[in-house]
Structure 1
Amino acid sequence: MRRTTPITIAYTPDSDDAFYYDALEHGLVSMPGYRPRFRREPMAVLNREALTGTNEVTAISSVVYPAIAGRYAILSVGTSVGRGYGPVLVSREPRTLSALAGRRVGVPGVPTTGWFLLRTLCPGAVTVEMPFDEIAGAVAAGALDAGVMIHEELLYYPRMGLRRVTDLGAEWCRRHALPLPVGLNVVRRDLGSAGMRTVCTAISASLHHARLNPEPALARVSRFGRGATGGCTEQFVQMFANDDSQCMPADVRAALGVLLAQVVALGAGPAVPPIDIIEPAPATVAVA
């Protein structure tokens, strides 16, 4: 029997990330030479773990990359991109962005891309870090003045009686005339160039398989996020698991350079790293 090396792939407990890996997790696509196991943790946890290289492959907030570039390279597959949308700032009562200076605003981790956008567009806000799926409830209950919505909360918050203050992602896109790379998939450099390419190829094949067979994949991943009763899965997956996620296009690569330079200018990263992106092999990974 051919020996395989165990590898840990970590992603957020949300439907778009689960969609990327559905075929790999269910044995529909192989990763030659590796035996993947999967972990699901909130983005704030994955960002912290990336600082110490806990997982060979992990989702991260894009703004974290300057701090981990020495240990990880970027995969061309699995990027979450907002084209005119992104993290949304919401409140219970009508508010303006400027009125939130000095107010308590929930963010899904520090640093995360949602936190970064709030920090850039409303630097006077008092950020309160909390689990992403508890922020909307805290805003609705009046425990927070506002909150940054990510994942399926982007689509669900109106059902909780909350109002949009501003789409932070849309504002970033408008100001820069670029799409917003919200999140990245990264791979540890110690796998070597061949190993990193094998991983990228397998994940690319997994996402391609799910996109060719969306109904069973969506049915399986609908348990994540707000679940089947939330009714957000298909729309959310279309927003963040699409052509941009299959292979990072040129304008997203350019946008990533702009975003990372802003992160460093804000003092949230040590230096602007090279945009070092791993591409899949030309051949398609064999179906298991």
Structure 2
Amino acid sequence: MKLSLGFSPCPNDTFIFDALIHHKIDTEGLTFEVFFDDVETLNQKALRAELDITKLSFHAFAYVAEKYALLDAGSALGFGVGPMLISREPYDDAAVGRFKTPGNGLKIGIPGKLTTANFLLGVAFPELKNKEELIFSDIENALLENRIDLGLIIHENRFTYQDKGLHKVIDLGDYWEQLTGCAIPLGGIVVNRNLEHSIQLKVNRLLRQSVEYAFAHPKSSLDFIRQHAQEMDEAVMYKHIDLYVNKYSVNLGSEGRKAIDTLFTMAEERSIIPAQPKNLYV
């Protein structure tokens, strides 16, 4: 049985999926047609229910939870791994305080309306409304070229913005952790609810095995990761993986589910997302 599978070319995803799609584990008769896309493209594909299995942001999941169920394996949650708001020049506390002024006129480059990053920006600074959607890897250059005033960065750009002379305004992951005490839910892996439940469970089981294989053989996926890592050196690739792949990627567990449920409850209360189905999980 062949299933369509979408995930990003970022090191955390290629690390997680390598063993699964290259049959380094027994896939129990399943094969996969793989699509590599940035997170916002995957979010949009999920809205159209194009793929059997896909990575998406948790913000986007809120809009497709009737169509997709969340797997316990493969998610990116963690502490100290959240999106960051950055600028060309340093901002002091007083300047950041002015972000809360309605109609402040600041233009913010975001990696997509349905990213968890944009959700957290809305929680922290609801007055920042002048947003331009950009591919996540273009946001730093847009700042440097004065096309935007602030940039909301995710993924490996956490490790590169300082090298370009850019400055941190606020770490929205830290903001979330102080607000809730939970790990920050960034992205998850979902499976189409139209598939037989036994297939959903098999995918969940195989993905966990793929993550466990990656942890047990961390260099096994190096060539695959490097192939898609956009000129990233090996040290940065593994720093990226260390931040985004952890115990929650093997199994959400009660802590991971609590973090996701907290995110969704808060978003519902603020009317950022629609009401959710009773059961989000496979």
1:216: Cα distance to partner?
Answer: 2.6
Unmatched segments (≥5 aa) in structure 2: none
Superposition pairs of residues 129-144 of structure 1, within 5 angstroms = 129-144=133-148
1:106 pairs with one of 105, 109, 133 = 109
What is residue 118 of structure 2 aligned with on the other side?
115
CA RMSD of aligned residues (A): 1.6
| 2-structure distance, mates of 1:215, 1:203 | 18
**CA offset digits 1:169-218 (Å, max 9, x no partner):** 11111111111111111001111210001111111111111111101323
Superposition pairs of residues 105-254 of structure 1, within 5 angstroms = 105-125=108-128, 126-229=130-233, 231-254=235-258
Secondary structure at the residue paired with 1:16? helix
1:43 pairs with one of 26, 39, 47 = 39
Question: Does residue 75 in structure 1 map to residue 78 in structure 2?
Answer: no
1:230: Cα distance to partner?
Answer: 7.5
- Residues 5, 53 of structure 2: 8 Å contact kept: yes
Secondary structure at the residue paired with 2:63? helix
| 1-structure distance, mates of 2:96, 2:33 | 42
1:266: Cα distance to partner?
Answer: 3.3
Secondary structure at the residue paired with 1:53? coil
- Residues 253, 275 of structure 1: 8 Å contact kept: no
Number of residue pairs aligned between Structure 1 and Structure 2: 274
1:231: Cα distance to partner?
Answer: 4.2
Provide closer, same or farther for how the CA distance between residues 63 and 175 of structure 1 changes in structure 2, counting only shifts above 3 A.
same
Secondary structure at the residue paired with 2:175? helix
1:147: Cα distance to partner?
Answer: 0.6
TM-score, normalised to structure 2, is 0.92
1:277 pairs with one of 262, 274, 281 = 281
| 2-structure distance, mates of 1:237, 1:204 | 16
Provide closer, same or farther for how the CA distance between residues 192 and 29 of structure 1 changes in structure 2, counting only shifts above 3 A.
same
1:31: Cα distance to partner?
Answer: 2.1
